[in-house]
Structure 1
Amino acid sequence: MRSAAAAVTEKLPEATRSRLADYYALCKPRVVMLITFTAIVGMLLASPGMVAAGVLVWGSIGITLMAASAAALNQILDRQVDARMARTCGRPLVTGHLGMLESGIFAAVIGALGFALLYVLINPLTAWLTLFTLVGYAGIYTLYLKRATPQNIVIGGAAGAAPPVLGWAAVTGTIDPHALLLFLIVFVWTPPHFWALAIERRDEYAQVDIPMLPVTHGIAYTRTQVLLYTILLVAVTMLPFVTGMSGFIYLLAALVLGGIFLAYALRMKFAPQPGLPMRTFGYSIVYLMALFTALLVDHYVAVWHGVA
């Protein structure tokens, strides 16, 4: 069954639909959806029951808009690099479907709107934290870290790990230690997730002089780092259970999901084969979504038992 948005979009002229598709692509929708998902999980885990509808809706929209703004700014700043890489050469700024001025205005408008929604309808802490995250990704990471050090993903991963904290702050108005556990999980997940992709795209990164770890230290070394970080990730994902934040449902899911991720990392290190890095990269996304879903299931099972 078609969505209402799809039905409306189909009635628009072809040129308008194409334009909207370009703006949509400028927002890196798959990345933003993962960001929004982890932020929503943070909101739901922060509440002993169901989150107030206004907080859930407006908090999600505000965080999504600011994440989309950061993604658009990233594409504006990286347009010359994107033009030289096969993975990104079809982006709307590279193809000329969108210009610099209109893309910049679009990013500024949706970013400002997202900030205003969070500041007025949620709380100032969430608005400022989200703004700092935007600046960290679009500014510090894209402009400096990405080109300065092979540890760019490790350091810059703090911006990508922030959404669960933003979601938690939207509900409580505080930065809770449990929210920081979620931050830590995403922070440690980021290097093995992205380095798997970087191994596959090593030659492209070398061509555009971006010092990703496989370029500066070689693929074999990067495989070792992926394995070590995956081991660390499995250990870190035990912390919600150890601290009493989650129960046995989450623990079982974390062990199974972590075991599969570890198997991928071991194969990459000791039995590498063509296509395996991209399969590892793909699984890492499924892993994070499934892990956070397990946190939610465990949380609401505990709530239901408490009510019952």
Structure 2
Amino acid sequence: MLKKYLFLTKPGILFGNFVTTLGGYFVATQGSVDFLLLLLTLLGTTLVVASGCVVNNVIDQDIDEKMQRTQNRAMVKKTISEPIALSFAFVLGLLGFGLLWFWVNAYAFLFAVIGFVVYVGFYSLWTKRSTIHQTVIGSISGAAPPVIGYTAVANQFDLGALIIFLGYALWQMPHSWAIAIYRFDDYKNAGIPILPVARSILRTKVESLIYVVLFSICMNALYFYGYANIVYLVLLNVLCAYWIYLSLIGFKADNDQLWARKYFLFSVLLITIISLAFSFTSTAPSSAMVLF
């Protein structure tokens, strides 16, 4: 029984957001970690993300039953009722938002709200089913956790937070499209107008390459504005160079699904390494431009 509820929260997504929250936190903390604050931030963020994922499961029942990888989910099989699932989501959200508001700060709470509203309202209920630009909208919610981590420490939204938000949002694009190419038939059968299905796999490869380059440029800014050291710069660019290489060989791939799977897995590895590396590569900028 507990396993059904755990999978309702989408553990893979929880882990990904856990790692990126760590990344944002480590950039701001600059090596001096307040472990209680870190724990509260991670727990609050994870609970909020879990709440959004449960609501997404409720919303996506009709889509999930048409996709091979999701057709055995609890909401599709009706092993958990909608009222129970929504109650579960409510409790998770209440605990998560409460932790961030009372024990972290208003900035972390605000970006948790933004991420939740965008994921549930603008992505799940609207753009996922209606527009090719769904991935752009989804990237906003995906970039919220690292900003939550950053603002939990900094208690302000400054240039560092903005760079992190843009960088992690740009990363979401090729990462998400790789899943869509790998699971192309699932997305096509479900009628989801994501880029590879609505346009073409070739166009998706072109745009993925563009976003990888933009991600590289954006994340390099953390070094040039004094938020990370030379070790970070080298590590980032080695990883990004290989991601660009994978993007380029995709144009000659004999099997798009196999290439996309490798492309997706590397995107996960890259963002995990970068996020964890901030624990020993982040530095204090000479001055931080506060935006709000």
Common fold, TM-score beyond 0.5? Answer: yes
Which residue of structure 1 lines up, in the alignment, with residue 119 of structure 2? Answer: 137
| Structure 2: gaps of 5 or more residues | 286-292
Residue of structure 2 in register with 1:93 after alignment: 75
Q: After TM superposition, where is structure 1 displaced by more than 4 Å over at least 4 residues in a row?
A: none
What one-letter code is carried by the residue in structure 2 that aligns with 1:234?
Answer: S
Contact persistence 2:14–2:49 (CA under 8 A):
yes
Query: One-letter code of the match for 1:82?
Result: D
Aligned to 2:266: 283
Q: Which runs of 5+ in 1 are unaligned?
A: 1-18, 303-308
| TM-score when normalising by structure 1 | 0.88
- Determine which of 232, 236, 243 is the counterpart of 2:225: 243
Amino acid across the alignment from 1:40: L
Offset from partner CA, 1:195-216 (integer Å, 9 cap, x none)? 1111122222222221011111
Task: Give the distance between the partners of 1:211 and 1:102, measured in 2 at CA.
Answer: 30
TM-score normalised by the chain length of structure 2: 0.92
Among residues 45, 58, 62, which one is paired with 2:40 in the alignment?
Answer: 58
Paired position in structure 1 for 2:159: 177
User: Quick check: 258-267 or 197-206, which moved more?
Assistant: 197-206
Matches of 1:128 and 1:229, distance apart in 2: 27
The Cα RMSD (Å) is 1.8
Letter in 1 for 2:140: A
Q: Which residue of 2 aligns with 1:223?
A: 205
Aligned position for 2:290: none
Aligned to 1:265: 247
User: Deviation string for 1:258-284 (max 9, x for gaps)?
Assistant: 011111111112334251111111111
- CA distance, structure 2, for counterparts of residue 129 and residue 63 of structure 1: 10
2:168 corresponds to which of 186, 211, 223: 186
Amino acid across the alignment from 1:250: Y
Q: Is the 8 A contact 2:75 2:82 kept in 1?
A: yes
The 1:241–1:205 alpha-carbon spacing in structure 2 relative to 1, beyond 3 Å, is: same
Residue type of the alignment partner of 1:46: A
User: In structure 1, what is the Cα distance between the partners aligned to 2:209 and 2:228?
Assistant: 26
Instruction: Give 1:300 shift.
Output: 7.4
Q: Deviations over 1:98-135 (max 9, x none)?
A: 11111110000110111111111112332232122111
Secondary structure of the 1:127 match is helix
2:179, 2:30 → 1: CA distance?
A: 38
**Distance across 1 between alignment mates of 2:25 and 2:225:** 19
Q: How many residues align?
A: 284
Which of 89, 107, 112 is 1:125 aligned to?
A: 107
* Change in CA separation of 1:21 and 1:184 when aligned onto 2, cut-off 3 Å: same
CA distance in 1, matches of 2:173, 2:30: 32
Match of 2:282 in 1: 299
Which residue of structure 2 aligns with residue 16 of structure 1?
none
Which of these residues, 54, 68, 78, is aligned with residue 72 of structure 1?
Answer: 54
Contact 1:249 1:294 in 2 (8 A): no
Q: Distance in 2 between matches of 1:218 and 1:97?
A: 37
